[in-house]
Structure 1
Amino acid sequence: MRLHSIAPKPGSKKRKRRLGRGVAAGQGASAGKGMRGQKSRSGGSTRPGFEGGQMPLYRRLPKLKHFTVINRKEYTIINVAKLASLPANTEVTLASLKEAGIVTGNNKNPLKILGTGDINVAINVKAAAFTASARTKIEAAGGSCVVITGRQ
């Protein structure tokens, strides 16, 4: 193979349309762009995203990094470190945490256990959700994690 013998495959290169070169050329006069209007003029059309003066979609959307999740789940959250003060073999629920004074106020949301802190007491936790680190710490201390659904 030599440099002078390199050529594209036959039929792979199409000839460029020559627009506006007379009626006999097939694309004469209006060059296939119709009669009048903004799209027929030289300089092309409108910019991408332009909606004819209407407020474009990219400006109508909220200017935030994220959209808020509608009907998102809200939890009453407790860290594992707070559960370390409980006695061994205690059954932990949202109601028992309210009685112990660990959770205060009128918390109607289901309980979620987070993994911040350490625990060395074996406790049985019944909650709506656990983080992976919280589950491993509770089970490593000899406790158990039970996921409950519905109202607590």
Structure 2
Amino acid sequence: MDCRCCSPPTGWAETDSPAPRRVAFDRDARLRTRVDIQAAFDGGTKLVNRQLVLWIRPGRPGAPSRLGLSVSRKVGNAVARNRVKRCLREAWQACASLRPEALDVMVLARPMAAPRDTREALRSLSHLLRKYAARCGQRTPARPAPRQGSA
């Protein structure tokens, strides 16, 4: 006999699929030391939009791109800050095709306009990565190549 407190909630559908796994964000993919973070601030290109401020600099050749996040208490309480960081990490991994080379990127979430979901973070981050690629003369795979001979 199932009691009400132990039985699954109504509408609960048991499936054979396991719970969704979190995507790993390993140590090699993060800016961790003060020296690395300060180097991104000092030697990086600063890019700004309504939601984010990015400092981007070329990374070490052959190394993976690395991400550093800074989300201040002005963004909200710990739950809100962790949500923003999680969304930014997911957006960073989704933007892998926009990073043809190794980059060190420091991201600062702007307090009043920080992205609240992954879609907003992805839109904002991809916009700034495209802006960086255009400044550096790199071609991004997300945009089609211009047609030859059309005028």
TM-score tier after normalising by the smaller chain length: under 0.3
TM-score by length of 2: 0.23
TM-score normalised by length of structure 1: 0.23
Which structure has more RCO (C-alpha within 8 Å, separation ≥ 6)?
Answer: 2
Q: Which has the larger radius of gyration?
A: 1
